[in-house]
Amino acid sequence: MLPHPGVYALNHLLGAEAWARAKLKPYAGQCVEFRASPLPALRLEILDSGLLADAAQDAASNLVVTIAWGALPALVQGEDA
């Protein structure tokens, strides 16, 4: 099964930011879930490298990040928005 497209996007951003990967490394093996209704939830596992992968179906979320629907356009536009 192919990874969720969000995994590619987040890993692309993380790939350019060594400091961010370093901050995630201590949490390797844990699961983070992103929710932005009405989109389906995106559950990701933090890898030893500090990158992300799709979490197992039965993985419990260690952290849930809820993103308000109105914030999504600003996230897509970048930090200047």
pLDDT of residue 23: 96
Neighbours of 35 (CB within 10 A): 14
- Return mean pLDDT, the chain: 87
Which has the higher per-residue pLDDT, 78 or 31?
Answer: 31
Cβ–Cβ under 8 Å, residues 25 and 50 = yes
Which has the higher per-residue pLDDT, 72 or 26?
Answer: 26
pLDDT of residue 78: 67
Give the residues across from 43 on adjacent strands: 33
Alpha helices in 1-81 (DSSP H): 5-15, 18-24, 72-77
Residue 39 has pLDDT above 60, yes or no: yes
Taking the CA atoms of residue 57, residue 18, residue 26 and residue 11 in that order, the dihedral angle to the nearest 10 degrees is 0
Q: What percent of the chain has pLDDT above 70?
A: 85
pTM for the model stands at: 0.79
